[in-house]
C-alpha cells in the first residue's frame, strides 16, 4: 500500500461521505492546508487513541476504533459548550493494516462526522508500529466568553452529571474477563461493551448546559473522581460528591459483583464514559435539566461545591472513597 495512493482513497471516501466541508470551509481536504472562515471564537482540542491502549482489534471493529477516535476528541468540545466544526486526523498505519482496514477506520470517523456535523478537512498518514489516530477538533462559540472552562466552580453551587456512569469500565471488564458475561443479560452486556468501544459525545447537552449558565464543565474521560479533581484544582474549590446520587448504568452492579468489586468504584473511577460534569447555581438546575432532557440526556445533581480545594467522594454509609481515576495501560 503506497502512502499517496492511500491518501487519495481516504480523500475520495471523505468526499463520498459528504463530510469534506461546510459553510466555514474555504479549502478542505486534498490541498497543502485547510482554510476556514469561522465566526466568533474557536475552541480547539487534540486527542489520540492508540491500539493496545485505548482499543484492540480482537474485541472491537476498526470502524468502532475510528468512531471512538473522533467521538472522544469531540467530547472535549462538548465540555466547553461549543458547536462541532472541523476535524484534522493523523493516521499511523502499521505493516499489518491494509488499505481496506484503513478505509474502515475512516468510515468510522466519517460516521461520527456526519452524525455531529463535523467536517473532515485534513490530516496526514505515516507508518507506525501500531494503529494510532491523532485527532485535532475545532469547535465554535459566539464569543470567547461563551466557552465554559473548568475554573468557574464556586461555593454554593451544585455538581451535576449527564447520563449514567460506570458502563465503559464494566464493558472493559467484560472484554478482559469474558466469563463475567454469564452474570449479565446478553443485551445488557452488549450495551456495556458498546459504551466502551463506541462512546457518544454530549455535544447538544454541553451546548444546553452552557446556555443554561453552567459555571464550570468537564467531560468524564478519566473517571468521576479524577475529573472532579481537575475542576476542583482549576476552580480552587472543594467538590463533595454523594455516590448514592450518582446514576449508574444498567448491568454495572452485576458485573462489579461478579468481579468482586464495588459498583460505585467502577462508576467513580473507571473512566471513558464521556458524560459531562458541571457546576451550576442551584436556581438554574431545573431549567438546565429541562434543556438537557430535550437533547435526549438526563441531568442529575450529585454533589455540591464549598470552600477549600479538593474532592470528597462520600459513600452512602458515610465513608469517604479515594478520588481515583482511570490510568491508561496496555490492553493488547
Q: How far is CA 242 from CA 7, 61, 112, 153, 315, in A?
A: 50, 37, 34, 17, 6
pLDDT tens by residue, 174-232:
999 999 999 899 999 999 999 999 999 999 999 999 999 999 999 999 999 999 999 99
64 with 109, same domain: the answer is yes
CATH code where residue 252 lies = 3.90.650.10
Q: What is the mean pLDDT of residues 1-11?
A: 64
- Residue 153 domain flag: no
Query: Of residues 124 and 214, which shows the higher confidence score?
Result: 214
Least confident of 11-15, 70-74, 112-116, 280-284: 11-15
Domain final residue, candidates 86, 112, 146: 146
99 with 246, same domain: the answer is no
31 with 89, same domain: the answer is yes
* Burial track 81-93 (b if 16+ CB lie within 10 A, e otherwise): bbbbbbbbbbbbb
Mean pLDDT of all residues in the chain? 91
The model's pTM: 0.92
Looking at residue 328, what is its pLDDT? Answer: 44
Looking at residue 326, what is its pLDDT? Answer: 53
178 with 141, same domain: the answer is no
188 with 131, same domain: the answer is no
Range with top average pLDDT, 29-43, 91-105, 283-297: 283-297
Q: How far is CA 174 from CA 82, 139, 177, in A?
A: 34, 34, 5
Closest CA to 105 of 67, 73, 136, 52: 67
Share of the chain above pLDDT 90, in %: 75
Looking at residue 325, what is its pLDDT? Answer: 62
Looking at residue 142, what is its pLDDT? Answer: 95
- Residue 189: domain span: 158-321
118 with 201, same domain: the answer is no
249 with 164, same domain: the answer is yes
- Residue 164 domain flag: yes
Q: What is the mean pLDDT of residues 134-160?
A: 97
Confidence of residue 2 (pLDDT cuts 50, 70, 90): low
46 with 138, same domain: the answer is yes
CATH code where residue 90 lies = 3.30.1330.10
Q: What is the 3-state secondary structure (H, E, C) of the chain?
A: CCHHHHHHHHHHHHHHHCCCCCCCEEECCCCCCCEECCCCEEEEEEEEEEECCCECCCCCCHHHHHHHHHHHHHHHHHHCCCEEEEEEEEEEECCCCCHHHHHHHHHHHHHHHHHHCCEEEEEEEEECCCCEEEEEEEEEECCHHHCCCCCCCCCCCEEEEECCECHHHHHHHHHHCHHHHHHCCHHHHHHHHHHHHCCCCCHHHHHHHHHCCCCEEEEECCCHHHHHHHHHHHHCCEEEEEHHHCCECCCHHHHHHHCCCCHHHHHHHCCCCCEEEEEECHHHHHHHHHHHHCCCCCEEEEEEEECCCEEEEECCCCCEECCCCCCCCCCC
- Residue 7 domain flag: yes
Evaluate if residue 47 carries a pLDDT over 80: yes
Looking at residue 332, what is its pLDDT? Answer: 32
Number of domains in the chain: 2
213 with 308, same domain: the answer is yes
Looking at residue 156, what is its pLDDT? Answer: 98
Confidence of residue 79 (pLDDT cuts 50, 70, 90): very high
- Residue 49 domain flag: yes
Q: 30 near 311, Cβ under 8 Å?
A: no
Evaluate if residue 253 carries a pLDDT over 80: yes
Spatial CB neighbours of 17, under 8 Å, sequence gap ≥ 6: 107, 110, 113, 114, 120
Confidence of residue 7 (pLDDT cuts 50, 70, 90): low
Closest CA to 310 of 199, 234, 206: 234
168 with 195, same domain: the answer is yes
- Residue 326 domain flag: no
Q: What is the spatial distance between Cα 221 and Cα 3, in angstroms, rounded to a whole number?
A: 33
Q: What is the spatial distance between Cα 281 and Cα 157, in angstroms, rounded to a whole number?
A: 5
Looking at residue 236, what is its pLDDT? Answer: 98
Amino acid at each position: 500500500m503506497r502512502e499517496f495512493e492511500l491518501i487519495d482513497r481516504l480523500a475520495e471516501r471523505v468526499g463520498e461521505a459528504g463530510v469534506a466541508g461546510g459553510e466555514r470551509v474555504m479549502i478542505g481536504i486534498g490541498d497543502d492546508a485547510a482554510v476556514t472562515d469561522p465566526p466568533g471564537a474557536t475552541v480547539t482540542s487534540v486527542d489520540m487513541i492508540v491500539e493496545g491502549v485505548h482499543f484492540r482489534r480482537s474485541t472491537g471493529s476498526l470502524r468502532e476504533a475510528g468512531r471512538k477516535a473522533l467521538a472522544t476528541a469531540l467530547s472535549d468540545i462538548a465540555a466547553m459548550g461549543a458547536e462541532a466544526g472541523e476535524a484534522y486526523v493523523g493516521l499511523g498505519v502499521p505493516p499489518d493494516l491494509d488499505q481496506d482496514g484503513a478505509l474502515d477506520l475512516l468510515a468510522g470517523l466519517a460516521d461520527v462526522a456526519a452524525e455531529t456535523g463535523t467536517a473532515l478537512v485534513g490530516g496526514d498518514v505515516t507508518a507506525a508500529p501500531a494503529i494510532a489516530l491523532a485527532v485535532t477538533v475545532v469547535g465554535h462559540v459566539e464569543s470567547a466568553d461563551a466557552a465554559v472552562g473548568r475554573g468557574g466552580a464556586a461555593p454554593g453551587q451544585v455538581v451535576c452529571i449527564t447520563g449514567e456512569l460506570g458502563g465503559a469500565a464494566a464493558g472493559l471488564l467484560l472484554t478482559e474477563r469474558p466469563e463475567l458475561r454469564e452474570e449479565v443479560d446478553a443485551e445488557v452486556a452488549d450495551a456495556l461493551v458498546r459504551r466502551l468501544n463506541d462512546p457518544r459525545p454530549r455535544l447538544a447537552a454541553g451546548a444546553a448546559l452552557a446556555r443554561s449558565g453552567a459555571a464550570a464543565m468537564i467531560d468524564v474521560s478519566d473517571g468521576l473522581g479524577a475529573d472532579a479533581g481537575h475542576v476542583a484544582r482549576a476552580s480552587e474549590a472543594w467538590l463533595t460528591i454523594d455516590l448514592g446520587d450518582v446514576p449508574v448504568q444498567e448491568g454495572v452492579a452485576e458485573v462489579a459483583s461478579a468481579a468482586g468489586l464495588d459498583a460505585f468504584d467502577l462508576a467513580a473511577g473507571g473512566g471513558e464514559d464521556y458524560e459531562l460534569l458541571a457546576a451550576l447555581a442551584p436556581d438554574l438546575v431545573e431549567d438546565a435539566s429541562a434543556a438537557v432532557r430535550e437533547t435526549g440526556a438526563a441531568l442529575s445533581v450529585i454533589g455540591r461545591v464549598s470552600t477549600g480545594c479538593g474532592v470528597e467522594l462520600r459513600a452512602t454509609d458515610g465513608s469517604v472513597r479515594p478520588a481515583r481515576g482511570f490510568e491508561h495501560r496496555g490492553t493488547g
